[in-house]
């Protein structure tokens, strides 16, 4: 295979620019998450992983293009592998993982809608991959090479996986809530509104914790 020489931003200064890059729209990442949620419904052991890999690969490619960078094939593989950059691969590993999930689903069907767990998990992990990779390219990347190689991708993937593990324990910056002005609600209405607003804020607070954990892991390593 021919060696790919690094391409730097200095090499592409003559190309048309698109202005400052902004974060990828949450609605766009949400659409990918919905697609990711649907792939687990295929009842064949090797198909879900293959489809998840395709969806995750499309997410990171989309995000990279919107930030004016490219992904080496090995870097895309590292980012989109469902089992992680160093996880088990191959048909046997996929089959074992599939059968394990199926067994768990059947064992716990009596305790609630357990079948929803796997689509929600796929959707969540797809969204987080796109969101944190976008955050890295917007705020955390210092390399000048246009092409992201496997080593850089592995560092980012480890930070993403680590952020998922640490999101519930890390201290995230507090977001100041707006103050109600001229509140005309009765006590019951105010209480119900407060509970619903608290629930509606959970995704935003979780994303804030993911951001804080991801930033910390990028800055201080993955230990």
Give percent above pLDDT 70 in the chain: 70
Q: What local confidence, expressed as pLDDT, does residue 181 receive?
A: 86
11 occurs within a structural domain: no
Q: What local confidence, expressed as pLDDT, does residue 220 receive?
A: 84
CB pairs under 8 A, 24+ apart, for 16-20?
Answer: 18/68
Q: What local confidence, expressed as pLDDT, does residue 18 receive?
A: 39
Residue 213 tokens read as: 């954990």
Tell me which of 207 and 18 has the higher pLDDT.
207
209 occurs within a structural domain: yes
CB 134 within 8 A of CB 211: no
Q: What local confidence, expressed as pLDDT, does residue 147 receive?
A: 94
Residue 114 tokens read as: 């357990």
pLDDT at residue 96 tops 60: no
Range of the domain at 204: 23-220
Q: What is the mean pLDDT of residues 207-221?
A: 90
Residue 62 tokens read as: 């989309």
10 occurs within a structural domain: no
Separation CA 166–CA 122 (nearest Å): 18
137 occurs within a structural domain: yes
Give the Cα-Cα-Cα angle 8, 9, 11 (nearest 5 degrees): 70
The model's pTM: 0.76
pLDDT at residue 1 tops 50: no
In the chain, how many domains are there? 1
Tell me which of 106 and 189 has the higher pLDDT.
189
1 occurs within a structural domain: no
pLDDT at residue 146 tops 50: yes
4 occurs within a structural domain: no
* Residue linked to tokens 């716990």: 108
Separation CA 30–CA 137 (nearest Å): 19
């Amino acid at each position: 295979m021919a060696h790919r020489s690094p391409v730097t931003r200095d090499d592409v200064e003559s190309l048309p620019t698109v202005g400052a890059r902004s974060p990828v729209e949450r609605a766009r990442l949400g659409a990918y998450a919905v697609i990711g949620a649907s792939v687990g419904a295929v009842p064949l052991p090797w198909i879900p992983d293959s489809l998840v890999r395709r969806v995750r690969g499309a997410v990171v490619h989309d995000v990279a293009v919107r930030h004016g960078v490219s992904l080496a094939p090995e870097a895309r593989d590292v980012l989109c592998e469902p089992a992680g950059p160093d996880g088990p691969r191959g048909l046997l590993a996929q089959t074992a993982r599939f059968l394990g999930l199926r067994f768990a689903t059947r064992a716990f069907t009596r305790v609630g809608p357990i079948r929803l767990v796997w689509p929600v998990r796929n959707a969540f992990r797809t969204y987080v991959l796109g969101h944190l990779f976008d955050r890295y390219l917007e705020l955390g990347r210092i390399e000048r090479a246009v092409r992201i190689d496997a080593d850089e991708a592995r560092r980012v993937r480890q930070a993403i996986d680590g952020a998922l593990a640490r999101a519930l324990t890390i201290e995230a910056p507090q977001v100041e809530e707006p103050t109600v002005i001229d509140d005309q609600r009765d006590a019951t209405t105010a209480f119900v509104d407060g509970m619903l607003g608290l629930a509606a804020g959970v995704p935003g607070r979780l994303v804030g914790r993911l951001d804080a954990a991801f930033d910390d892991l990028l800055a201080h390593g993955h230990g």
